[in-house]
Amino acid sequence: MHYLYLAVLAAVVLGIIVGFAAPGFAKGLTPLGNGFVNLIKMMISPIIFCTIVLGIGSVAKAAKVGKVGLLAIGYFLAMSTVALAIGLVVGNLLHPGSGLHLDPTAAAKAHQQATGGQGSTDFLLGVIPTSLLSAFTSGSVLQTLLVALLAGFALQKLGPAGQPILRGIEHLQKLVFRILSMIMWAAPIGAFGAIAAVVGSTGWAALRSLLVVMLGFYITCVLFVFVVLGAVLWLGARVNVFSLMRYLAREFLLILSTSSSESALPRLIAKMQHLGVSRSVAGITVPTGYSFNLDGTAIYLTMATLFIASAQGSPLSIGEQISLLVFMVIASKGAAGVSGAGIATLAGGLQSHRPDLVGGVGFILGIDRFMSEARALTNFAGNAVATVVIGSWTKEFDRAKAAQVLSGQSPFNETTLIDDEPAAAPVPEQVPA
C-alpha cells in the first residue's frame, strides 16, 4: 500500500501537467475521477451499517450508546459554532470580493444549484427510508445510520440469541473492507482524472480574482485545525495534533485527490480502532460526524457568502450574516463528506434568505473544487479529533496503545484495514481441586 500512495502522488503531479499542457483533453478526463469516487461511495452504506451495528451490539447497555451519541452531537455543534465565528471574523477582516463589482446576470447557472436546498421538514422526513433495504441504495448516510441504529438496538435486545448474527456481521465487515482495499488500487487513475480535469477547466487565470478568498479560507482552516482542534485534542486526550495528523497522512492524501472526505471514512473508522478507541465509540462517533461535523463547511459557507455579497456590492450586516449562516450550517447536515454538496447548500441558503445574491454563486464555482478539498480535509480532521476526545471522555481510549501507534511501534495493517487483535478477555479464576 505504500507504493499505492506514491502512485497517487505521481498521478496528481501528472494530472496537473496534463491539465496545463492539454486543457481540452484534460477536461474529458472528469469521468475517471467521478468513477473512482462512485466506487468508494458504493462501499459507504455497508461499511457504516456493519460498523454501527457491531459498535452498538458489543455494548451491554443502550444507555452507553446514548451517552456517546449525545456527547458526539453536542461536541460537533459546539465546534461548528466556533468554526462559524472564526470564519465570520476572518471574512470581515479580509473583505473578500470588495471592489470587483461583478455582474450577477453572468451566473445564471447558479440558480440551478439552489434546488439542492431543502427545508427542515423535508430534511427530517428524508432520514426515513422508503423501505428497510432502500437505505442501502439511496446514497443517504443518514438513512443508513437510522437503519443501523435500529438493527444495533434490536440485536442488543435479543441478548445471547443475537450473538450468531453479530458474528455474521463481523465476517461481512471483513469482506467489505477487503473489497475496499481492492478498489483503492484504482486511486491513482481517479486522482489523475480529477486533478487534470480541474486544472484544464480553470487554469490560473480563473483563480486570480478569487485568490484572496481562497487563500483566506485555506489559512483559516489551517489555523482552526492546528490551533483550535489542537488545543481541544491536547486538553481532552493529551494527544499531540501533529502526531495524529501524521498518522492520518495517507487519508489526507486520498481526500486531497478526490475532494471528498467520504473516500476516507472507512479507513478513519479502522484507524481510530487501531489507535486505541473502542469499537463502540469509533462506530458511533465517526459516522455521526460525517453527518453533523461541519467545521470546514461552516468556514467555507462563511467565506463564500461574504465574498458573493461583497463582490456584488451588497455587503451583509452582522445580523444577516449570522442568521443566514446558521441556516446554512443546519441545512448542510448529512452532506459534510460529499464533494460538491457545499455549493448546493450555499445556493439554497442564499435563495431562502437573499434571493438577490443567489446569482453570485456562479462566481465561486471556478474555485469550489479547490475550496472543497480544504473543506473536506478540515471536516475529516475534526472527525478524527472528536473520536479521540470522546473516547477519552468516556474512558474508552487506550492511551498506552495510542502512544505505541503514533510512535510507529504498532503499524496499521494496510492489507486488511482491520485490527484483528481481539480485546483482552478476563482470565477465569482457577478453582483449586
Domain harbouring 8, CATH code: 1.10.3860.10
- Is 371 inside a domain boundary? yes
Q: Distance between alpha carbon 380 and the CA centroid of its chain, in Å?
A: 5
> Residue 290, SS3?
helix
Instruction: Annotate 382-429 with DSSP letters as a single string.
Output: HHHHHHHHHHHHTT-B-HHHHHHHHTTSS---TTT-S---PPPPPPPP
Cell of 22: 492539454
Range(s) of the domain holding residue 221: 2-406
What is each CA distance from 305 to 126, 315, 320, 360, 365, in whole angstroms? 26, 10, 11, 9, 13
pLDDT in tens, 97-130: 665 555 554 444 444 444 444 555 666 777 788 8
Cell of 404: 505505541
Q: What is the DSSP letter of 277?
A: B
Contact 107/360 with Cβ under 8 angstroms? yes
Q: Of all residues in the chain, what percent carry a pLDDT higher than 90?
A: 10
Contact 389/233 with Cβ under 8 angstroms? yes
- Is 430 inside a domain boundary? no
- Is 64 inside a domain boundary? yes
- Is 73 inside a domain boundary? yes
Instruction: Return the closest-CA partner of residue 417 out of 169, 171, 177.
Output: 177
**Domain tally, the chain:** 1
Dump strand ranges (E) for 59-100. none
Return all residues near 417 (Cβ < 8 A) that are at least 6 apart. 177, 178, 180, 181, 266, 267, 270
Q: What is the pLDDT of residue 232?
A: 94
Half-sphere exposure of 60 (CA within 13 A, CB side): 0
> Residue 333, SS3?
coil
Give me the sign of the Cα torsion angle 295, 301, 304, 306: negative
Question: With a cut of 70, which residues of the chain have pLDDT below it?
Answer: 1-2, 4-5, 37, 55, 58-65, 96-123, 139-141, 201-210, 258-260, 291, 327-345, 347-349, 351-353, 359-370, 415-433
Q: What is the pLDDT of residue 388?
A: 93
Q: What is the pLDDT of residue 326?
A: 73
- Is 173 inside a domain boundary? yes
Q: What is the pLDDT of residue 136?
A: 80
Q: What is the pLDDT of residue 109?
A: 45
- Is 424 inside a domain boundary? no
Instruction: Annotate 129-147 with DSSP letters as a single string.
Output: -SSTTGGGTS--HHHHHHH
Q: What is the pLDDT of residue 89?
A: 85
Cell of 103: 455582474
Report pTM: 0.64
Q: What is the pLDDT of residue 381?
A: 92
Q: What is the DSSP letter of 225?
A: I
Count the helix, strand and coil residues of the chain and give each as a percent rounded to the nearest 5.
80, 0, 20
What is the rounded CA–CA span in Å between residue 240 and residue 139? Answer: 35
Burial of residue 111, with CB atoms counted within 10 A of its CB: 0-12 exposed, 13-18 middle, 19 or more buried: middle
Q: What is the pLDDT of residue 113?
A: 44
Q: What is the pLDDT of residue 242?
A: 94
Q: What is the pLDDT of residue 22?
A: 86
- Is 163 inside a domain boundary? yes
Q: What is the pLDDT of residue 206?
A: 42
- Is 282 inside a domain boundary? yes
Q: What is the pLDDT of residue 338?
A: 46
Identity (one letter) of the amino acid at 299? I
Q: What is the pLDDT of residue 112?
A: 45
